[in-house]
Chains A and B, each alone.
Chain A
């Protein structure tokens, strides 16, 4: 078994109204020093074999084809 964590974030320059709202709420909670919040997504994918090379390639393809919309999002894959 291989466990992979996929992190999808908005590309730089893409407006993130949800991140902005969270940023505002943190300020409302009196946390000072918050310059910016960007919201993203995390996917934990469990692969049923132990071939790391294949898993990495497959998960990259999954990100390109479905997990991320590469028009507006970047993704990073960590195998654990």
Chain B
């Protein structure tokens, strides 16, 4: 699996993401700097987590307007798979690649803990290594993960099976509408999620529940 990881000033989960991709796929991802106008031919583009541009204006707002985004959008339109985690999810929403918005946590507190996720749709390219309704553990670390979409958008997400993950068993850490933790676009090639699967991929992390995401993505290259 050939992967590109986008780098922006203020991200801090990029190294974890690169390590996870390398460990699961066996291949070193290429990195793309925010001002690059070209993204190499890859199977998967990942926008990692952190605090790009210090969360100025709105989380992900400035990053989503940087030059790399034009190339990323063109690739996504062509069907290349894109995954945004945490700040990466915020960036993909700000860029309009996914519907809705992420707002300040309902508690107003930064949450850094482990939650439980329900795999709502196990038929996506990012979740096929899981089974539907499976409950997995996953860490979260964010201040603005409170997913919001208007009633029409929410219904479209529900009816279109576009909710990939929900917070399970009362572990919703941020007030997200319908307990949404991760969504996928209509075409099925762009996923955004707040939790950090890259931080639970080997026994040293205390579990491997996040590994399935990367193992699922391996099939993108094979397909």
Contacts and interface: CB of A to CB of B under 8 A. Distances in A.
B148 A69 contact: no
A7 B101 CA distance: 19
A21 B104 CA distance: 12
A15 B61 contact: no
B58 A69 contact: yes
A15 B175 contact: yes
Contact of A66 (B61, B104, B149, B150): B61
A27 interface: no
A17 B106 contact: yes
Contacts of A72: 101, 103, 148
B187 to A, nearest CB: 20
Interface of B is mostly: loop
A69 B105 contact: no
Nearest to A18: B104
Interface of B: 57-58, 61, 65, 93-94, 99-101, 103-108, 146, 148-150, 175
Interface of A: 13-15, 17-18, 21, 65-67, 69, 71-72
15 contacts: A13-B150, A14-B148, A15-B106, A17-B103, A17-B107, A17-B175, A18-B104, A21-B108, A65-B65, A67-B57, A69-B58, A69-B101, A71-B99, A72-B101, A72-B103
